């Protein structure tokens, strides 16, 4: 480095960096290209750089160009490209430019604040050429237009002047070197960086830059936006909401239906496009039903409650659209208001059904969807629903709106004239479909018409005779108030022409006779069992918990489902133990047995490398105490892994075909043969777990079984888990399915999420990979194979899997026989049978209510301490618990904030509440705990901590058992211990300002996070929302 330059540097962080980091220094200097090149204004000065050109002829050519004024600019650009990454050459031109220009020297090494410098360095980190790529790519004017702070004004004026004179690169360099030096920003020195990212994101030309600078920019931008929102709220005294929205009483009568027609709520419709674009939309597609579809819709179109049972792929969405159109025509002719609610079991189906229905209803009827992830504005959710003719709901959000105490969220049964239940066989037990229908049965007013859609009717668990199966089918009809079951009878040939069932095949595979890796896993499991058993027997003998000695015997078969259930059950029982070293050690041992069990299961179906990787990942996640303390249970378990399992690592290769395992070899053979005979094939492989789906997809791509490429296989799992748990977001799920439908992916590895509803195109091969379910799964999965000459193959490793599949085939035949029997009855006979069943169910329900009320009376006044399951610290009294949103158990004790650490968590909308954080137990006087107790939600303006049943114990030290009680579900707790009442307006008022009074800072953080949830939801809606247009 030139001495004169070094002497002028101060001792601040920027100056130190300019001395110590050559890549950063050269990158920073390159932002002054125009100023540095101005100093090279004579041939003599240019000749001082001759040594940096290897070829004398090139340098001679450069001199000739430089001497020609018309080519001088081109010559200097060529010259710059040759020297810009050379330290010595850049030092020389810097000295030349600043020798008689101290102002330029001061400008170049003008100090950058440390906090600002941290983000400026990101432009050079790991890739010293990153800033050069940015300055040659960005469009400066759109960025300037979005930089609103007054501190940017002088920079924006200079950039605009440069752009007017077409100095594009110079303007970009000036912008990027000047932003970090802005010192008058309202918030903080680093604001320029995030303002720059935000400015890039709103312009299509610059939108890719933030991710180029920082692949995790979204996370950092979210954190910055949160801080800005906190600052804004804290400066605005009106930022604290201290009033509840308008509320209604639970049993309040609805307004008259005619006053809640679409005409009164048109202004709440959310338009995705301008009116001009709406006018250019194509008209709705006409519906031409096939003969068998006409047979399916006949009963529903007469206004009769019915269940439509037809195979997957027979066009039930088209059938539903036709029924809706006929319903609207009939209601209009009768001069009655009409509105349809469509219930779908999963969130991805909401958008899918909206898109499908919009094809047939657009420009005439307004279609919208609601899954709970939409932002809640000041108008509430009800106006958006009331503005629509058809709304697609997930059932829980619909129930929440029917029960909401917020006036602007409240819906009523009288707002709807028809309910359509997609996959209606779910209407059983505690499923939200059944909860909704029980509410409707208790309603005395005019009821909507009910239409159910399904591919399979339930037969009940363990029922293998016609009489019992018929009774179970009648149960479903009664639960849905369906007086008819519509199936194809007259036009079976027409149905068979369009819907071809696949050929079923079962192939049996065997495990390898000896596997050294599996042997090492089982050795570890036996050693852990041996260490745990004496302590377990001691607990049983001393009767510390309700536990018998014989219940300590671990199952012999280590990879069986029975083993997993045994370990899980044992772990739950041990949660009742008082906290201490023994409990901690036993819980850790059982956790590791779970790891080894899952590794064995993976080893059965994949090359051993995947099972080992899974174990290694879980070991790496463990928090190990001081390694010198060899007695800690974590270190002992770690040593066990390192001694018996880790030596196998040398034998593993990620590219291992695994064909020594018969089931994997059979899978490879089936896929190879399929894609040799038909390269355009589509295959779905059904597996049991998310993790297996992800690993099998990776394996098949690695060994290039399909299509000879490593990108032909994808996986799809449920969208209600985080990616870290091998789950997928709705967006990821949709992308994978689109790639499969378009042929980019040839094979889809799927969990049960692909069985029902999702818009997966016709495929000609279904493989059930050591995986079977109920008879309903059999029908649903087979229905995915819709192409001609398709096959369905079960690869079974366990005899029990094969037996279950055969049992399912028998039950499918039984369902057909039952349907044929029910179709012999007239509509009036069916109606009488269903009404009789409904009356029986109502009587049973009323008897249950009497028992529940008696139970409530017996539990009245009972109050317990709820304590942290891990450390035993007091959380709250049972009398402080309330039920919100039908399923959230929240604590309404304003002092709870003193006993928990409330931490912000990535916010998202949950039904009518917003998840904003997680409560962590503070622990007791002896130690910190940090156990997650549940979530923190914002409901009607109040922040409420939810408490998970599995996170607490009920202190029953004075009761019959004389010890804390532990349950995994609130239903079990409330059935035996105490009642939890629904949340009321007075509860919300108590909690409304409780967090603010305890910690203003935490309250502001959660307010900011709640605001971000709305912003994220709006962003997603902009990405995903389809125009559901209406013709005025």
Give the pLDDT confidence score for residue 588 in this predicted structure.
87
Give the pLDDT confidence score for residue 775 in this predicted structure.
44
Dist CA 775 CA 452 (whole Å):
19
The 10s digit of each residue's pLDDT in 462-496 is: 556 667 778 778 888 899 999 888 888 898 888 88
pLDDT at 667 over 90: yes
Residues 186-223, buried b or exposed e (16+ Cβ, 10 A)?
eeebbbbbbbbbbbbbebeebeebbeebbeebeebbbe
Out of 415-419, 452-456, 539-543, 680-684, pick the least confident: 539-543
Take residue 745 and report the two structure tokens written for it: 């992916």
Q: Are strands 683-686 and 874-877 parallel, antiparallel or unpaired?
A: unpaired
Dist CA 34 CA 60 (whole Å):
23
Beta strands in 922-1015 (DSSP E): 934-939, 942-947, 952-955, 981-982
DSSP code for 505: E
Give the pLDDT confidence score for residue 187 in this predicted structure.
55
Nearest C-alpha neighbor of 516 from the set 648, 665, 650: 648
Dist CA 313 CA 637 (whole Å):
51
The 10s digit of each residue's pLDDT in 419-447 is: 999 999 889 887 889 989 988 988 888 99
Residues 418-431, buried b or exposed e (16+ Cβ, 10 A)?
bbbbbbbbbbeeeb
Confidence of residue 755 (pLDDT cuts 50, 70, 90): low
Confidence of residue 170 (pLDDT cuts 50, 70, 90): very high
Dist CA 154 CA 469 (whole Å):
80
Q: How many residues does the chain have?
A: 1032
Q: Tell me which long-range contacts 696-705 makes (C-beta under 8 A, separation of at least 24).
A: 696/605, 696/606, 696/749, 696/769, 697/747, 697/749, 698/610, 699/606, 699/607, 699/610, 699/658, 700/671, 700/747, 700/749, 702/654, 702/655, 703/655, 703/657, 703/668, 705/668, 705/671, 705/672
The 10s digit of each residue's pLDDT in 306-326 is: 999 888 778 888 999 999 999
Q: What percent of the chain has pLDDT over 90?
A: 23
Take residue 301 and report the two structure tokens written for it: 């179109």
Dist CA 124 CA 134 (whole Å):
11
Dist CA 551 CA 536 (whole Å):
9
Nearest C-alpha neighbor of 147 from the set 99, 82, 192, 210: 192
pLDDT at 186 over 80: no
Neighbours of 926 (CB within 10 A): 10
Q: List Cα–Cα distances, 856 to 580, 860, 975, in angstroms.
A: 35, 6, 9
Please report how the helices 516-541 and 633-644 are oriented relative to each other, as an axis angle in degrees rounded to 10.
Answer: 150
Neighbours of 703 (CB within 10 A): 18
Nearest C-alpha neighbor of 754 from the set 770, 740, 775: 740
Give the pLDDT confidence score for residue 782 in this predicted structure.
47
Q: Are strands 765-769 and 791-796 parallel, antiparallel or unpaired?
A: parallel
pLDDT at 188 over 80: no
Q: Are 439 and 416 in contact (CB under 8 A)?
A: no
Out of 121-135, 281-295, 494-508, pick the least confident: 494-508
Q: Are 1010 and 343 in contact (CB under 8 A)?
A: no
Residue 183 or residue 450, greater confidence: 450
At 513 the three-state DSSP class reads coil
Out of 270-274, 334-338, 574-578, 884-888, pick the least confident: 270-274
Q: Are 912 and 376 in contact (CB under 8 A)?
A: yes
Confidence of residue 301 (pLDDT cuts 50, 70, 90): very high
Out of 18-22, 650-654, 818-822, pick the least confident: 650-654
DSSP code for 363: B
Residues 494-519, buried b or exposed e (16+ Cβ, 10 A)?
bbeeebbebebebbebeeeeebebbe
At 52 the three-state DSSP class reads helix
Q: How far is CA 143 from the centre of its chain?
A: 32
Out of 3-12, 332-341, 705-714, 775-784, pick the least confident: 3-12
Nearest C-alpha neighbor of 289 from the set 321, 253, 324: 321
Give the pLDDT confidence score for residue 421 in this predicted structure.
96
Out of 164-178, 376-390, 724-738, 880-894, pick the least confident: 724-738
pTM here? 0.61
Q: What percent of the chain has pLDDT over 70?
A: 79
Take residue 522 and report the two structure tokens written for it: 């089982």
Q: What is the mean pLDDT of residues 224-250?
A: 60
Give the pLDDT confidence score for residue 1030 in this predicted structure.
34
Residue 628 or residue 438, greater confidence: 438
Q: What is the mean pLDDT of residues 378-383?
A: 77
Dist CA 435 CA 891 (whole Å):
24
Take residue 417 and report the two structure tokens written for it: 């004239």
- The mean pLDDT value of the chain amounts to 80
Q: Are strands 449-454 and 418-422 parallel, antiparallel or unpaired?
A: parallel
Confidence of residue 30 (pLDDT cuts 50, 70, 90): very high
β-bridge partners, 370: 393
Contacts of 354 (CB under 8 A, 6+ apart): 367, 368, 369, 392, 1026, 1028
* Highest mean pLDDT out of 546-550, 637-641, 851-855: 637-641
Domains, the chain: 3-202 (no CATH), 257-489 (3.40.50.300), 516-651 (1.20.1320.30), 662-821 (3.40.50.300), 865-1020 (2.170.150.30)
Phi/psi at 903 (5° precision): -120, 140
Confidence of residue 856 (pLDDT cuts 50, 70, 90): confident
Residue 27 or residue 247, greater confidence: 27
């Amino acid at each position: 480095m030139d001495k004169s330059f070094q002497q002028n540097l101060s001792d601040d962080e920027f100056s130190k960096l300019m001395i110590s980091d050559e890549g950063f220094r050269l990158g920073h200097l390159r932002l002054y290209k125009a100023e540095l090149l101005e100093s090279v204004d004579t041939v003599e000065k240019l000749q001082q750089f001759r040594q940096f050109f290897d070829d004398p002829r090139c340098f001679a050519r450069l001199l000739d160009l430089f001497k020609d004024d018309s080519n001088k600019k081109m010559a200097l650009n060529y010259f710059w490209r040759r020297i810009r990454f050379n330290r010595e050459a850049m030092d020389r031109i810097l000295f030349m430019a600043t020798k008689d220009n101290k102002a330029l020297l001061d400008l170049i090494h003008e100090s950058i604040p440390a906090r600002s410098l941290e983000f400026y360095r990101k432009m050079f980190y790991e890739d010293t050429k990153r800033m050069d790529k940015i300055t040659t790519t960005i469009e400066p004017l759109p960025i300037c237009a979005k930089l609103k702070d007054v501190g940017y004004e002088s920079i924006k004026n200079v950039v605009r002047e440069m752009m007017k004179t077409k100095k594009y690169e110079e303007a970009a360099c000036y912008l990027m070197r000047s932003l970090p030096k802005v010192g008058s920003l309202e918030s903080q020195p680093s604001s320029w960086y995030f303002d720059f990212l935000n400015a890039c994101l709103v312009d299509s030309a610059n939108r890719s830059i933030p991710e180029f600078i920082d692949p995790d920019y979204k996370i950092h931008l979210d954190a910055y936006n949160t801080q800005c929102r906190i600052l804004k709220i804290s400066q605005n005294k009106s930022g604290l909401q201290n009033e509840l929205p308008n509320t209604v009483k639970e049993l309040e009568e609805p307004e008259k239906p005619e006053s809640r027609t679409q005409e009164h709520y048109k202004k709440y419709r959310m338009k995705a496009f301008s009116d001009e674009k709406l006018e250019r939309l194509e008209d709705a597609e006409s519906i031409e039903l096939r003969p068998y579809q006409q047979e399916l819709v006949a009963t529903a179109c007469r206004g009769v409650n019915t269940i439509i049972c037809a195979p997957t792929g027979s066009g039930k969405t088209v059938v539903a659209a036709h029924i809706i159109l006929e319903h609207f025509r009939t209601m209009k002719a009768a001069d009655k208001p009409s509105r349809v609610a469509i219930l779908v079991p999963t969130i991805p189906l909401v958008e899918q059904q909206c898109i499908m229905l919009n094809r047939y209803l657009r420009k005439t009827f307004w279609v919208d969807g609601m899954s709970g992830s939409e932002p809640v504005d000041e108008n509430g959710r009800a106006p958006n629903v009331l503005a629509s003719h058809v709304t697609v709901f997930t059932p829980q959000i619909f129930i929440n709106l029917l029960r909401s105490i917020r006036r602007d969220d409240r819906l009523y049964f009288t707002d709807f004239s028809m309910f359509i239940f997609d996959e209606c066989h779910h209407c059983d037990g505690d499923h939200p479909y059944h909860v909704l229908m029980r509410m409707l049965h208790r309603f005395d007013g005019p009821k909507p018409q009910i239409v159910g859609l399904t591919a399979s009717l339930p037969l009940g668990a363990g029922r293998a005779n016609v009489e019992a199966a018929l009774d179970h089918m009648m149960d479903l009809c009664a639960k849905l108030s369906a007086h008819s079951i519509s199936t194809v009878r007259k036009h079976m040939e027409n149905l068979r022409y369009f819907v071809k069932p696949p050929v079923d095949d079962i192939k049996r595979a065997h495990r390898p006779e000896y596997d050294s890796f599996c042997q090492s896993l089982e050795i570890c499991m036996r050693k852990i069992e041996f260490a745990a058993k004496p302590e377990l027997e001691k607990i049983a003998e001393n009767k510390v918990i309700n536990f018998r000695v014989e219940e300590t015997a671990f199952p012999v078969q280590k990879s069986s489902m029975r083993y997993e259930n045994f370990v899980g059950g044992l772990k739950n029982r041990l949660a009742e133990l008082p906290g201490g070293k023994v409990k901690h050690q036993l819980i850790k041992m059982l956790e590791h047995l779970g790891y080894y069990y899952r590794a064995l299961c993976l080893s059965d179906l994949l090359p051993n490398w995947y099972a080992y990787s899974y174990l290694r990942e879980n070991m790496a996640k463990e928090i190990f105490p001081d390694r010198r303390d060899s007695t800690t249970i974590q270190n002992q378990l770690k040593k066990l892994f390192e001694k018996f399992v880790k030596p196998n690592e040398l034998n593993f290769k990620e590219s291992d075909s695994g064909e020594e395992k018969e089931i994997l070899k059979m899978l490879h053979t089936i896929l190879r043969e399929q894609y040799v005979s038909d390269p355009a094939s589509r295959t779905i492989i059904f597996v049991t777990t998310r993790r297996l789906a992800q690993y099998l997809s990776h394996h098949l791509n690695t060994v290039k079984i399909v299509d000879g490429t490593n990108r032909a296989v994808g996986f799809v799992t449920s969208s209600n888990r985080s990616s870290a748990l091998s789950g997928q977001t709705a967006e990821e799920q949709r992308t994978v399915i689109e790639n499969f439908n378009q042929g980019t992916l040839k094979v889809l590895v799927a969990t049960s999420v692909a069985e029902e509803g999702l818009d997966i195109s016709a495929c000609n091969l279904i493989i059930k990979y050591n995986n079977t379910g109920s008879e309903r799964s059999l029908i649903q999965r087979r229905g995915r194979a819709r192409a001609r000459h398709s096959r369905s193959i079960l690869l079974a490793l366990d005899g029990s899997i094969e037996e279950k599949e055969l049992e399912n085939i028998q039950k499918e035949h039984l369902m057909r026989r039952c349907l044929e029997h029910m179709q012999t009855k007239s509509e009036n006979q069916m109606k009488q049978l269903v009404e009789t069943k409904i009356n029986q169910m109502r009587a049973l329900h009323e008897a249950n209510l009497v028992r529940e009320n008696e139970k409530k009376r017996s539990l009245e006044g009972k109050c317990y301490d709820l304590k942290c399951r891990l450390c035993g610290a007091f959380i709250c009294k049972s009398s402080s618990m309330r039920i919100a949103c039908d399923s959230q158990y929240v604590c309404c004790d304003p002092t709870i904030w003193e006993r928990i650490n409330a931490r912000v968590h990535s916010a998202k909308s949950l039904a009518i509440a917003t998840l904003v954080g997680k409560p962590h137990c503070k622990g007791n006087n002896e130690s910190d705990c940090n156990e997650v107790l549940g979530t923190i939600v914002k409901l009607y303006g109040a922040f409420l901590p939810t408490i998970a049943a599995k996170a607490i114990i009920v202190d029953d030290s004075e009761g019959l058992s004389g010890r804390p009680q532990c349950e995994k579900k609130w239903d079990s707790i409330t059935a035996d211990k105490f009642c939890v009442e629904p949340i009321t307006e007075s509860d919300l008022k108590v909690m409304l300002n409780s967090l603010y009074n305890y910690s203003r800072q935490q309250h502001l953080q959660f307010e900011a996070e709640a605001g971000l949830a709305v912003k994220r939801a709006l962003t997603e809606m902009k990405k995903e929302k389809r125009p559901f247009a209406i013709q005025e």
